[in-house]
A and B are shown apart, each in its own frame.
Chain A
């Protein structure tokens, strides 16, 4: 039985390992690191918020 969909190999398909195209980031690892750092900063800010107000 055949139920899978053939992958789209049309020529206008850009390559899948393309760079992020975000100013300041040359690789996806850099983007992930930035997001992780942002998450740590948010938790830190929320912890400070809790300490100040709660």
Chain B
């Protein structure tokens, strides 16, 4: 990194944070602090929703995942547009009509206090854990590549986001997210264009021949991780839970001048999310092609981790692996050249060249696996997943100065924007659903409520920093985030669907049904090996079925359910 990179990186990061803090420094009304400004337009809401969902993991890990296994991950987003239509038509009008600050407040109005506390607690539990991952994920990768202290990176980004989120609340979050998304779009498009200029003719055909471009798989095999059906059904339930019941998203669209703004913001995401994710995974697939033509493509992309082993007591063993990889990589380049020459000449020459190319790729994959096995044998705690380092390796080695700073700003902007949305929601839920519940006399003291919300937001920020500093996370971070979400989301969605559509089911029945369903999902997760997306469906279905059974068993002894009843 040179001076130009530092100017761009710090200028964008600090500039946006300072602008957000300054513009919202006089936020004193609880409504504005928790829901954002009344003048917020649908474009800002739409970008804010997008920014909250997409963290650094999306921009760093997803290209790496596509580099390794192709672009099939895009299918995970197939359920999203359908879920957003349902959220627009069912969830949002109810939240707006009741004027709630949190989704769980609605559960209190529809059921009872214990169900509201259960919903809020499940949210705080899973989102609180995830908030640590959100701040840790970019820090571990960027500090490793740039040689920064991981602890200082975590503390710096954590404190920066705490400052403007605590100062301006939801208004500051939406405002900064809009500009952070502008930086993200600008940076990613720039990187994509530069990547395109470095690719040979026939890059797409080559990525396809190497099995990286299968976007849709209609297979019904449940063992396959990404298929059209798991993406559509599992993705629908995951997205419905996330956008409909997760406060970090609900908070983004319940503000604004009217329901129209929130609805159009959601529809903006329904239209652009799949193309955006496709664009990101395509970067990964094209990076795969790019690195085929590089003479010095590393056997392992996390160079710091590799060097640790290559300079250790078994250095000779790692040197042999490196030499083997280099020879096989060169041999593969010859096969690529041969295939490129005959690829349009028809059968059988093209087919023969393609199968030789695939065989050469398998040999390289085998050496990469050998390298990872050797690292694990040398140190069982070795970090053997290097796909997160593919895109950052390209950024640091291929982009001009200034653009490197812009791409690093993309990574930090995405970390700050998703973190801010999370902190804002954690602070709001803690204030509205917990603090006000246990301190009912404070409910109408607006200034005291704002102060409490600020304190809770700051506390969750420090909790996330502490968690990121002291916890050890799963290596595959994007998977880890989705797995945690899938374990809890299904049950929470089940509670809300019962609330919306099964009017005769009451609080006690849904409360115990949700606890039983959650226990069932956790037991299944530790005893089965099905795709994690299915737990969204299972948890939701179990919660609904158990609610119906319990309500039939309990009969009508519970209080009558009505949406208009004040929460207790």
Contact = CB atoms under 8 A, between A and B. Distances in A.
B566 A4 contact: yes
A54 B553 CA distance: 54
B215 A1 contact: no
Q: Shortest 4 CB-CB distances between A and B: which pairs?
A: A7-B99, A53-B208, A4-B567, A54-B214
B85 A35 contact: yes
A46 B113 contact: no
Interface of A: 1-8, 13-22, 28, 31-32, 35-36, 38-39, 42-43, 46-47, 49-50, 52-54
Given A36-B81, A39-B81, A50-B216, A20 B263 contact: yes
Contacts of B88: 28, 32
B73 to A, nearest CB: 12
A24 B98 CA distance: 30
Given A5-B101, A18-B258, A53-B205, A35 B267 contact: yes
A3 B267 contact: no
Interface in B180-236: 204-205, 207-208, 211, 213-217, 228
Contact of A5 (B78, B228, B432): B432
Contact of B96 (A16, A31, A50): A16
Contacts of A17: 259
Nearest to A7: B99
B104 to A, nearest CB: 11
Given A18-B259, A32-B89, A3 B108 contact: yes
A14 B258 CA distance: 6
Contacts of A50: 213-217
Given A18-B259, A43-B228, A50-B213, 8 more contacts: A4-B566, A5-B100, A14-B258, A21-B260, A35-B271, A39-B270, A46-B216, A49-B215
Contacts, number: 112
Contact of A3 (B98, B216, B275, B437): B437
Nearest to B218: A47
Contacts of B260: 14, 18-21
Interface of B: 31, 74, 78, 81-82, 84-85, 88-89, 93, 96-101, 105, 108-109, 113, 204-205, 207-208, 211, 213-217, 228, 257-260, 263-264, 267, 270-271, 274-275, 278, 432-433, 436-437, 440, 443, 566-568
Contacts of B271: 35, 38
Contact of A42 (B204, B275, B432, B443): B275
Contacts of B205: 53
Nearest to B79: A39
A7 to B, nearest CB: 3
A31 B108 CA distance: 32
A1 B113 contact: yes
A23 to B, nearest CB: 13
B390 to A, nearest CB: 20
B507 to A, nearest CB: 15
17 contacts: A1-B568, A2-B443, A3-B432, A3-B433, A3-B440, A8-B31, A15-B258, A19-B260, A28-B263, A31-B263, A35-B267, A36-B82, A38-B81, A38-B271, A39-B270, A47-B216, A54-B211
B38 to A, nearest CB: 8
Contacts of A18: 258-260
B82 A42 contact: no
A32 B257 CA distance: 21
B60 to A, nearest CB: 23
A22 B46 CA distance: 15
Contacts of A47: 215-216
A17 B211 CA distance: 48
